[in-house]
Homo-oligomer: A and B are copies of this chain.
Amino acid sequence: MSRANSRQMKLGAFLMAGGHHIGAWRHPDAVAEAGVDIDHFIGLAQMAEAAKLDMIFVEDAAAIRERNVNIASQAARSTGFEPLSLLAALAVNTSHIGLVATASTTYNDPYGLARTFASIDQLSGGRAGWNLVTSASELEAENFVSSGLRPHAQRYERAEEFAAAATAVWDSVDAGAYVVDGNVYVDPGKLHPVDHRGTHFTAAGLLDSPRSQQGRPVMVQAGASDAGKNLAARTADVVFTAAQTLEEGQEYYADLKARMPSFDREPDDLKILPGVSPIVGRTESEARAKYDALQELIPDEVGVALLASYLSVKDLSQYPLEGPLPEMPQTDGIQSRQQLIIDMGRRENLSIRQLARHFAGARGHWQLIGTPAQIADELEERFYAKAADGFNIMGALFPAGLEDFIILVIPELRRRGLFREEYEGRTLRENLGTRIPARGA
C-alpha cells in the first residue's frame, strides 16, 4: 500500500517514566526508579530525536497518583521529576525535537508559568510546548486548596482567562526588541506591556526574555468536554485524545476541526494526535507474547483501582469482578474518559475484570498489537480516514517499547511516504507546520 501524498503524520513520544503499561515497573527489563533517572529520559529523548519524531511529551499532576500508596506504587508514577525542570534538562541534551510538558491552569499563575515556558523556549531554541490542563485530580487539589477539586465549569472558565493572559505575556515582546549593541539595549516600540486585570488573574508587566524563536510556545491540549474542545479550537496547536475505535476518532476529529472557523482559524493549524500503545513484534505471535507478558504483571486490585480512578469513583471492590460495571453518576472528573469506559463495557459486554485489564494496559488508549506492517496499516487507515493527523506513541515499557516502534514501524511509515526523513526546521512550530493564532486571539 503506497500513496503519493504531501501530508505526513506528526508523531509524539509519550514518556511515562518506566513505560505506559501499568505493570512496566515489574518487568525484568524495567529501569529501576525510571521516573527520577535523568539518563533514562535523556536516552529516550535522543532516541526519539534520532528518529525525527516531532516531540516528546510528559504528563503531570502535582501529587502522587493514588491515595492508596500501594496502588500508587504500582501505577508507577508516584515518583518522578517535576515536568518543567525535566524539560529544561532535556533541552540542553537535544537539538531538534519538541519538548512538551503538562502544567495546570488551576494551580499556577499566568505570568509565572508563561515565563517558565518562555525560558524553556530560550533554552531549547524554540522547541517548548505546554500541555494545558485544568487538573481533575483530587489528590492534586488537596496539595493546593482547602476547598477541594473545583467544578469542571469553573476550572475551564479559569483556564480560558489563564490562556489569554499567558498569551498576552508572550506577545508583550516583539521579535528583535532587544538590540544590545553596546549602546542601545532595547527598542521600546517593540514592547507591549500586558494589562490583564481579570476575574482570576492580574498581570501588568513585560515578559522578561526576548520573544520566542517560534513566536510563542506551542499550545497542546486534550480537552474532550464541550468547554475543553472550544478552548482547544481557539488556542491549541496540538490536541491529544483517546479513541478506541476509528469511528470515535473520526467523530472527535470532525467535531474539533469544525469548531475552528468560528475562532478564525484554519483546521490545518491544529494537529489531532490520538494516543496509541503499539506492541510490535517481528511476527504477530512475538507481539502477542510481549503483550501477554505485560498483562500478567497487573494484579486485580491494581487494575480495578485504576479503573475506579478513571471512572472518578472511590471504589469498585464491592462489585463482583466477573460482573458488568454498575450504573455510574456523572462526576467532575474527566467525563469523556468515564464515557469511553462505560461505552466499551456495554459494546463489548465486558466484566469489571476485563475492563480493568484492558484499560490498565494502555490506560484508556488504543492498543495495537502486531507486526510493523499491521501496525502501519492501522495507523495509515486512521490517518487517511480523518481520525488523526498523527499519533502520540505510548511505549508500553521503556526503552524497548519506543525502540521497537522506531526501529520496526518508522521505516515502514517512511516507505509509505507517511513520515518525514528529516526535520523541516529547528523549532517545534516549524516541524508541526502550525501558524500562531493572531495577537490577542
A contacts, CB < 8 Å to B: 25-26, 28, 30, 32-33, 35-36, 38, 42, 62-64, 69-70, 72-74, 76, 78-82, 84-89, 91-93, 107-109, 111-112, 115-116, 118-120, 122-123, 139, 142-146, 178, 180, 182-186, 188, 191, 194, 197, 202-206, 208-210
When C-beta atoms are compared, the residue in chain B nearest to A185 turns out to be B73
**Given A123-B85, A143-B203; A64-B185 close (CB under 8 Å):** no
Q: What are 13 A-to-B residue pairs whose CB atoms are below 8 Å?
A: A26-B182, A36-B122, A62-B112, A69-B206, A81-B122, A81-B209, A82-B115, A85-B87, A86-B123, A88-B89, A89-B123, A107-B109, A144-B202
6 shortest A-B CB distances, which residue pairs? Answer: A73-B185, A88-B88, A82-B119, A85-B88, A111-B143, A142-B204
Bound: A42/B186 CA distance, A:
25
Cβ contact within 8 Å between A144 and B109: yes
**Given A69-B191, A119-B81, A180-B33; A208-B89 close (CB under 8 Å):** no
A123: chain B residues at CB < 8 Å are: 38, 81, 85-86, 89
When C-beta atoms are compared, the residue in chain B nearest to A28 turns out to be B182
Q: A62 contacts which of B25, B79, B111 (Cβ < 8 Å)? A: B111
Cβ contact within 8 Å between B111 and A208: no
Q: A185 contacts which of B38, B74, B204 (Cβ < 8 Å)? A: B74
A143: chain B residues at CB < 8 Å are: 111-112, 194, 202-205
Bound: A69/B188 CA distance, A:
7
A112: chain B residues at CB < 8 Å are: 62, 107-108, 143-144
A197: chain B residues at CB < 8 Å are: 146
Cβ contact within 8 Å between B178 and A79: yes
A118: chain B residues at CB < 8 Å are: 82
Smallest CB–CB gap between A264 and chain B, Å?
Answer: 29
Smallest CB–CB gap between A199 and chain B, Å?
Answer: 11
Which of A30, A81, A108 has its CB near the most chain B CB atoms (within 10 A)?
Answer: A81
Smallest CB–CB gap between A134 and chain B, Å?
Answer: 16
Bound: A35/B208 CA distance, A:
10
A38: chain B residues at CB < 8 Å are: 91-92, 122-123
A142: chain B residues at CB < 8 Å are: 202-205
Cβ contact within 8 Å between B205 and A79: no
A205: chain B residues at CB < 8 Å are: 63-64, 139, 142-143
A87: chain B residues at CB < 8 Å are: 85, 88
A85: chain B residues at CB < 8 Å are: 84-85, 87-88, 116, 119-120, 123
Cβ contact within 8 Å between B180 and A25: yes
Excluding A79-B208, A81-B119, 10 further A-B contacts by CB distance (< 8 Å) are A26-B182, A33-B180, A69-B206, A78-B178, A81-B123, A82-B115, A82-B119, A85-B119, A139-B205, A143-B194
A109: chain B residues at CB < 8 Å are: 107, 144
Cβ contact within 8 Å between A36 and B209: yes
Which of A28, A76, A89 has its CB near the most chain B CB atoms (within 10 A)?
Answer: A89
Cβ contact within 8 Å between A82 and B186: no
A91: chain B residues at CB < 8 Å are: 38, 89
When C-beta atoms are compared, the residue in chain B nearest to A122 turns out to be B36
Bound: A237/B112 CA distance, A:
27
Cβ contact within 8 Å between B208 and A144: no
Cβ contact within 8 Å between A185 and B89: no
Bound: A144/B74 CA distance, A:
39
Cβ contact within 8 Å between B144 and A42: no
When C-beta atoms are compared, the residue in chain B nearest to A27 turns out to be B182
**Given A180-B33, A208-B79; A92-B186 close (CB under 8 Å):** no
Cβ contact within 8 Å between B209 and A35: yes
A36: chain B residues at CB < 8 Å are: 122, 209-210
A28: chain B residues at CB < 8 Å are: 182
Smallest CB–CB gap between A177 and chain B, Å?
Answer: 9
Cβ contact within 8 Å between B79 and A210: yes
A184: chain B residues at CB < 8 Å are: 73
Smallest CB–CB gap between A149 and chain B, Å?
Answer: 13
Bound: A197/B147 CA distance, A:
11
